[in-house]
């Protein structure tokens, strides 16, 4: 897809999500600054991978984009329509958009109601949107969805605990597909599954995307999971999007110091090259998002940090075609 022919399905500008911290009311109110001023677009039909260490805000960003979490500020445009804009006080009713935007959760067992049968779980999604007026249509649709995700129609009468993790995730996928969505946030959909079945689920998600023209935001903590299935990859650190580029470009020519460290930990297919490459080790732990470092949030661990980095937060800018980075060092070099 060339830049000109690609249509944006989602546009996110300066999106912020802070969670209030419960504590002493007399003291200054504190917030978990989970997502800080993230701007990105997602093109129709693409898979945008989103990576970063645990706790960096991937889940919060995914859920805030589809407004499962109400944003703190920023702007979200879905298929040309602003669905949230804090400056213009726009906050549309989400029910019609819930059909278009769905999510597959990381923990399949925790996201399925143990008291409901698989048929009821999928049927509930249909009922909310009044999609199957007659009982027969409803039953047929549930059966069709089960088949689409590789389960048997008899599975409709069973409860989630009767299934393996992989089958439970297939139920979660069927529930997301029930409303015929356009966009799905896949939030680490395979990380809780046995390694042996991870690729089956990924392949199925890829087939469903091709057949239904779906657009994915595919979250993973490890680049190796998303590098082959993503058209582009975004990298997050402590709530901020620090780099975004075509998948191949990001993996082969990373420009942000944090992305370079993240990639240095990923094994290469060629063991000789892999051994020759130096793994970059970061000093210190990830700081708390309740009291994040000033300026560039990575400055406490970045080997290149300067005074400017400690004072001024770098903005995401384009340094090559479609290759964005947020780092003062890049400005000086480029």
**Interface contacts to ligand SF4, rule CB under 6 A:** 257, 296, 298-299, 302, 304-305, 309, 314, 327-329
* Closest approach of ligand SF4 to the CB of residue 305, in Å: 4
Give which of ligand ADP, ligand SF4, Mg ion, none residue 235 binds (C-beta under 5 to 8 Å, depending on kind).
none
Q: Which does 176 bind (CB under 5 to 8 A by kind): Mg ion, ligand ADP, ligand SF4, none?
A: none
Please report how many Cα atoms fall inside a 13 Å half-sphere around the Cα of residue 262, on the Cβ side: 30
Per CB under 5 A, 60 contacts Mg ion: no
Q: Which residues, in sequence order, are CB contacts of 311 under 8 Å at separation 6+? A: 294, 295
- Of 55 and 165, the one with the shorter C-beta distance to ligand ADP is 55
Q: Is the Cβ–Cβ distance between 165 and 192 less than 8 Å?
A: yes
Contacts to ligand ADP by CB under 6 A: 19, 32, 34, 52, 54-60, 289
Please give the Cα distance from 37 to 15 (Å, whole number). 5
Give least dist CB 14 to Mg ion, A.
Answer: 22
Return the number of the residue (176 or 329) whose C-beta is nearest Mg ion.
176
Residue 167 near Mg ion by CB under 5 A = no
Residue 63 Cβ, how far from ligand ADP at the closest point, in Å?
8
59 vs 247 by CB, closer to Mg ion: 59
Q: Output the smallest distance, CB 263 to ligand SF4, in A.
A: 15
CB of 238 to ligand ADP, least distance (A): 9
Strand ranges inside the chain, DSSP E: 8-20, 31-43, 47-51, 73-78, 81-85, 90-91, 101-104, 183-187, 215-219, 232-237, 240-246, 317-320, 323-325
**Complete edge-to-edge strand list for the sheet that includes strand 8-20:** 31-43, 8-20, 73-78, 81-85, 90-91
Provide the β-strand partners of residue 241.
Answer: 236
Q: How many beta carbons lie within 10 A of that of residue 327, not counting itself?
A: 25
Judged by beta carbon distances under 5 to 8 A according to partner kind, the member of ligand ADP, Mg ion, ligand SF4, none in contact with residue 34 is: ligand ADP
To ligand ADP, the closest distance from the beta carbon of 133 in angstroms equals 36
Nearer to ligand ADP, 68 or 90 (CB): 68
Distances in Å between the alpha carbon of 117 and those of 128, 142, 171?
17, 12, 10
Q: Is 111 in the site for Mg ion (CB under 5 A)?
A: no
Q: Which does 305 bind (CB under 5 to 8 A by kind): ligand SF4, ligand ADP, Mg ion, none?
A: ligand SF4
> Of 60 and 259, which has the nearer Cβ to ligand ADP?
60
Interface region with Mg ion, contact rule CB under 5 A, candidates 58-66, 115-123, 175-183, 225-233 = 58-66
Non-local (6+) Cβ contacts of 227 within 8 A are: 49, 233, 247, 251
310 close to 323: Cβ distance less than 8 angstroms: no
- Of 63, 80, 82, the closest CA to residue 71 belongs to 63
Counting contacts by CB under 5 A, is residue 59 touching Mg ion? yes
Sites of contact with Mg ion (CB under 5 A) = 59
């Amino acid at each position: 897809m060339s830049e000109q022919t690609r249509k944006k399905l989602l546009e996110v500008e300066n999106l912020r999500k802070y969670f209030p911290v419960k504590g002493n009311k007399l003291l200054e109110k504190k917030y978990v600054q989970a997502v800080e001023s993230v701007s990105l677009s997602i093109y129709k039909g693409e898979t945008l991978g989103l990576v970063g260490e645990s706790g960096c805000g991937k889940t919060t960003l995914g859920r805030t984009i589809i407004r499962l979490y109400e944003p703190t500020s920023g702007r979200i445009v879905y298929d040309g329509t602003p669905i949230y804009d804090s400056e213009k006080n726009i906050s549309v009713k989400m029910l019609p958009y819930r059909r278009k935007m769905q999510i597959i959760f990381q923990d399949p067992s925790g996201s399925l109601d143990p008291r409901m049968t698989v048929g009821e779980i999928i049927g509930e999604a249909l009922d909310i949107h009044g999609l199957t007026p007659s009982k027969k249509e409803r039953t047929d649709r549930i059966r069709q969805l089960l088949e689409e995700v590789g389960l048997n129609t008899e599975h409709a009468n069973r409860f989630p605990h009767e299934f393996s993790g992989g089958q439970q995730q297939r139920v979660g996928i069927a529930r997301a597909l029930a409303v015929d969505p356009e966009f799905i946030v896949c939030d680490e959909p395979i990380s809780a599954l046995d390694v042996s079945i991870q690729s089956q689920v990924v392949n199925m998600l890829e087939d469903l995307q091709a057949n239904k023209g779906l657009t994915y935001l595919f979250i993973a903590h490890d680049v190796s999971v998303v590098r082959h299935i993503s058209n582009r990859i975004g990298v997050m650190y402590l709530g901020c999007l620090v780099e975004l580029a075509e998948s191949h470009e990001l993996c082969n020519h990373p420009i942000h110091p944090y992305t370079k460290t993240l990639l240095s930990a990923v094994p290469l297919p060629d063991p000789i090259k892999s051994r020759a490459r130096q793994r970059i080790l970061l000093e210190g732990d990830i700081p708390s998002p309740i009291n994040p470092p000033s300026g560039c949030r990575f400055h406490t661990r970045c080997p290149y940090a300067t005074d400017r980095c400690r004072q001024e937060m770098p903005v995401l800018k384009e340094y090559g075609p479609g290759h964005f980075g947020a780092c003062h060092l890049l400005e000086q070099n480029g």
